[in-house]
Amino acid sequence: MPTTSVGSAALVESTSKLFKGRLLVWLLLIPLTLAVMAAPVWIAAIYVLLWILAASFEFLRLYIKPFRFYHLLFLIAPILIWAYTLFLTPFSLASHLFAAFVIQVLLWLLFFPSKPALILPLLILPLYLGFVPVHFVLLKQEVVKGGLSYAWLAFPFVMTWVNDTAAYLLGSWLGRTLLCPKISPRKTVEGLISGIVVTVGAGVGYSALFLPDQPLWWGAILALAVALIGVLGDLLESAIKRERGVKNSSEILGGHGGFLDRIDSLMFGVAIYYYLCLIL
């Protein structure tokens, strides 16, 4: 069989797997996440905690080899950041972050004193998979506190998934120019632009339909911000995987990757949306 035929077949098979992975998100994870975020705060918080634990576990296994059961102690740090959102302690977020850093350093000294290269990813963990994803809960609390409609809460989730879907589908069709080939060889400039354009349009339409009290420019700006920061979150995780020499954060979801692969862009999109809503 000619080399070009083999390459084309491999590309088609790979693209098919990627599509199935997104189909899983569309049919299962999106409805589940939207339903949970509509539930009381404590239910949403537990759901977020489960994602934090799963993604943090995957992150640790990328760096700690072989991974032993007692290395799960490193999960204490992101859990400590999450605990702040439910006011389980009387201390500030800054205090929780400081305590998380101290815990990571102490555990590193206990388990890996001869591996100084591990200290940086261990310190990054509570920020990357503790502080950033807790904005799911912070946003939920802000919506409840302000008596805002569910449409406010769902906005960053919908925009992130619209951007991801549009960039993937239109990028597969129109993509010619690679965006960051050394980090993510499948992402294209055309896919990036297409995703942003579609997402901004979706943001305007969403505002007009579900948030009529907000000006249309509000929906456009927030959709643009969510789309752009989501791409950065996606590229960040891709860079981590490339540095570790793996394709997915794990294979726990079969051919669909891991839990971190599913929230890499979403958690950054929710965080930027949370802060912009406080400002605008």
The residue extents of the domains of the chain are 1-37+148-280, 38-147
Q: If the chain, 280 residues long, is cut into consecutive pieces of 10 residues, what is the mean pLDDT of each piece?
A: 46 54 68 93 96 96 96 97 87 94 98 96 97 97 95 97 92 90 90 97 98 96 97 95 90 73 93 95
Residues 6 and 8: their CA atoms lie apart, in Å, by 5
State the DSSP H helix or E strand holding residue 157, giving kind and residue range, or none if neither: helix 150-174
CA pair distance 132, 151, nearest whole angstrom: 22
Whole-number Å distance between alpha carbons of 100 and 210 = 39
Q: Which of 160, 80, 61 is nearest to 127 (CA)?
A: 80
Alpha carbon distance 203, 78 (integer Å) = 32
Rounded to whole angstroms, the Cα distance separating 117 from 63 reads 10
Q: Residues 75, 277: contact at Cβ < 8 Å?
A: no
- Rounded to whole angstroms, the Cα distance separating 42 from 270 reads 18
- Integer Cα distance of 52 and 87 in angstroms: 18
For residues 93 and 111, the answer to whether their CB atoms sit within 8 Å is no
Is 136 in contact with 38 (CB distance < 8 Å)? no
pLDDT confidence of residue 22: 60
The answer to whether 280 and 218 are in contact (CB under 8 A) is: yes
Number of C-alpha atoms within 13 angstroms, CB side, residue 8?
5
pLDDT at residue 258, rounded to an integer:
84
Q: Encoding tokens for residue 168?
A: 């993937």
Q: Which amino acid is at 275?
A: Y
* Residue 189, C-beta contacts closer than 8 angstroms, at least 6 positions apart: 175, 177, 178, 179
CA distance 94 to 100: 10
Task: Using the structure block, give the residue that is written with the tokens 């789309």.
Answer: 227
CA distance 21 to 159: 18
Structure pTM? 0.89
Phi/psi class of residue 66: alpha, beta or left (left: φ > 0; alpha: ψ in -120 to 50)? beta
Tell how far CA 84 is from the center of its chain.
20
Tokens of 142: 């802000």
Structure tokens at 273: 């949306």
Tokens describing residue 157: 């989730």
Rounded distance between C-alpha atoms, residue 155 and residue 270, angstroms: 9
